[in-house]
Structure 1
Amino acid sequence: MVWTLAVLFGISAILLILSSIKSLKSAKEEQKRMDLAHIALVKDINDLQDSIRTIELSMEIILKEAGIQLSQSELQTLREVLDLYKRGYSIESIAKKKQVSESEISQMLAPFQIQPEERGKVANEI
């Protein structure tokens, strides 16, 4: 009886050691996988930051070449108004949201609105 208990105790100790080794290996593999995911995420963030920097520099060059003089607040307001317009907001709702007149919003959006072609109008009149 004593031998049986000793053998069972020994087997349980061996199984406990093997289980600990296996869980340690799986924890190391999981840590390695998380490290690779973290590295990929950091690389993607750096790529996005580089893209944003490039876009900002391109925008600055285009504004300077076009001779447009806008302050940062004016540029921010124009960006927000254009974003709202592109998302389908009406000029009236944008004017209410920004607390400016509809005519000012229309003037801001004029260069970005698609003008209907006059040719189609003439063809329908004939």
Structure 2
Amino acid sequence: MTTKYTEDHEWITVEGGIATIGITPHAQDALGDVVFVDLPEVGKLFAQKDVAGVVESVKAAADVYMPVSGEITEVNEALRDDPSLANSDPLGAGWFFKVKLSDAAQVDALLDATAYDAFTQQG
């Protein structure tokens, strides 16, 4: 299972046509302590780059963008109950939502770990 990244600091893994999406360690580090997450509704359809949720921290609020087009199949209720999971385990228990892919080719166009690391080192 390969993890891909967006320039908006979301990560995505795909297994069997279902993508799991969250924010990257870089994003949670920049945000600081996450205190609230607004997650999308199950069954809602999103296009790639649509705003699908919001993450609020002690420093700022940030939109969570859809890295791919698809339908929300599940949201992380544990994250809603304990937003700090986005800080303590951003690539694991801190995932945000799952999406049934509309176009699997969109995943291929996202950044791999090397490209994302290079992107975060810029500017």
TM normalised by structure 2 equals 0.18
User: Greater share of strand residues, 1 or 2?
Assistant: 2
TM normalised by structure 1 equals 0.18
Larger RCO, structure (CA 8 Å, separation 6 or more): 2
User: Greater share of helix residues, 1 or 2?
Assistant: 1
